[in-house]
Amino acid sequence: MRVKNVIAAMLFFVSILCLSSCVGNESDTANELYVGVTCYDLSDAFVSELLECFKASCNDREITVTIRDAVGAQRTQNDQVQELIDEGCNVLCVNLVDRTDPSEIIDMAREREVPIIFFNREPVAEDLRQWDNLYYVGAYSRQSGVMQGELAAETIWKNKSIDRNKDGKIQYVMLEGETGHQDSVIRTEYAVNTLKEKGIELERLSYGIANWNRVQAQNRMSQMLSRHGEEIELVLSNNDDMALGAIDAYMELDVEETNLPAFFGIDGISESLEAVKDGTMTATVYNNKEGQAEAMTELSYSLMTGKEMKNVKFENGQCVYMDYVKVTPDNVKEFLAREKEQ
């Protein structure tokens, strides 16, 4: 009994101490670190994994997060921003539906002095200059394209059987993300150019725009397959979810293993890491979601508390870009282990 009383008394003192420090200026915000997030479409495989990481890292710092889903409509997203501001959020994290159309959001935030961290869908530089409380957290599109090209070139060198018809050229198809997204255009261009620079002769049979989406990619791939069938030796995809969709198309047709092309994605989402491990996907490029989430959290925290940032490095004072990493069957276990830690 006595021990219990002592503990109770101690707890009481500790809570009084906490309370008095909360009343003090610095921790005034301690209960009010509130970040409002709106994302372009929560059904996006990569963005939803990124947001899971973001929630976890905000949780570690006792930051409250509200996430809204704009389901592909810029109008809806603008309304969500207004609501989040009205609800008193201290920082906004915005994954733009239309990356060329942030002006209305910027105006609303500026009026109430709420800083914005854009993420994953990069506004054009001119828009970022509209106000100095605007930031961007993402990754280097060009680097992901180059790495995908390098991975494909290395595989083709090592594995002569990829050139199935032995004509010295690699017949390929490309699955592209949304038109107008920084990552579609640039990944496509750099993956192909890198392969060419590495001395691989390419012949593009076809391409399909599948808006980052697995089901759309399966449909596009089925159409390409019905036209080109076994001619296809390589499938390059702007992201993993579409590469998985392409694999689905082959699985549905029960194509023999010797007639399967090599599949390359980008992102390193959970399911594609498993696919690289079991060999259905040849390789992918890791889009560092943990790093991006951590940078968004640290930046939000710093904007709300005025505390200095330790790990965030800016480019042009406003942008943070995380490095990509190549994922192959040789190192995929490290990435899978990281997933399990979460």
Interacting residues toward Ca ion by CB under 5 A: 163, 165, 167, 169
CA torsion 215-286-161-196 (nearest 10°) is: 100
Residue 183 CB, nearest approach to ligand BGC (Å): 4
Among 69, 267, 294, 298, binds ligand BGC (CB under 6 A): 267
Residue 151 CB, nearest approach to ligand BGC (Å): 15
Among Ca ion, ligand BGC, none, residue 163 binds (CB under 5-8 Å by kind): Ca ion
Among 35, 47, 170, 235, binds ligand BGC (CB under 6 A): 47
Alpha carbons 330 and 142: distance in angstroms, whole number: 24
Please calculate the CA angle 328-334-335 and round it to the nearest 5 degrees. 75
> Is residue 272 close enough to count as binding ligand BGC by CB under 6 A?
no
> Is residue 44 close enough to count as binding ligand BGC by CB under 6 A?
yes
Residue 242 CB, nearest approach to ligand BGC (Å): 8
Residue 201 CB, nearest approach to Ca ion (Å): 9
Instruction: Name the DSSP letter for residue 179.
Output: T
Place of tokens 């309370």: 19
Positions in 111-170 near ligand BGC (CB under 6 A)? 120-121
Among Ca ion, ligand BGC, none, residue 183 binds (CB under 5-8 Å by kind): ligand BGC
Stretch that binds ligand BGC, among 28-36, 44-52, 218-226, 316-324 (CB under 6 A): 44-52
Q: Which one-letter amino acid corresponds to residue 94?
A: V
Alpha carbons 150 and 82: distance in angstroms, whole number: 44
Alpha carbons 120 and 60: distance in angstroms, whole number: 22
Q: What are phi and psi of 118, to 5 degrees?
A: -80, 150
Stretch that binds ligand BGC, among 25-33, 39-47, 309-317, 323-331 (CB under 6 A): 39-47
Among 46, 172, 263, 335, binds ligand BGC (CB under 6 A): 46
Alpha carbons 177 and 216: distance in angstroms, whole number: 10
Instruction: Name the DSSP letter for residue 40.
Output: S
Residue 78 CB, nearest approach to ligand BGC (Å): 18
Alpha carbons 326 and 76: distance in angstroms, whole number: 36
Contact 101, 273 (CB under 8 A): no
Among ligand BGC, Ca ion, none, residue 165 binds (CB under 5-8 Å by kind): Ca ion
List Cβ neighbours of 124 (8 Å cut-off, separation of 6 or more): 99, 100
Place of tokens 């207004």: 82
Closest CA to 246 of 176, 341, 298: 176
Residue 136 CB, nearest approach to Ca ion (Å): 41
Residue 200 CB, nearest approach to Ca ion (Å): 11
Contact 123, 165 (CB under 8 A): no
> Is residue 212 close enough to count as binding ligand BGC by CB under 6 A?
yes
Among Ca ion, ligand BGC, none, residue 154 binds (CB under 5-8 Å by kind): none
Residue 321 CB, nearest approach to ligand BGC (Å): 12
Please report, for residues 18, 19, 21, 24, the alpha-carbon distance to residue 10 in angstroms, rounded to integers and kept in the order given.
12, 14, 17, 21
- Report how many residues bind ligand BGC under the rule CB under 6 A: 13
User: Which residues here bind ligand BGC, judged by CB under 6 A?
Assistant: 44, 46-47, 120-121, 181, 183, 212, 239, 241, 266-267, 287
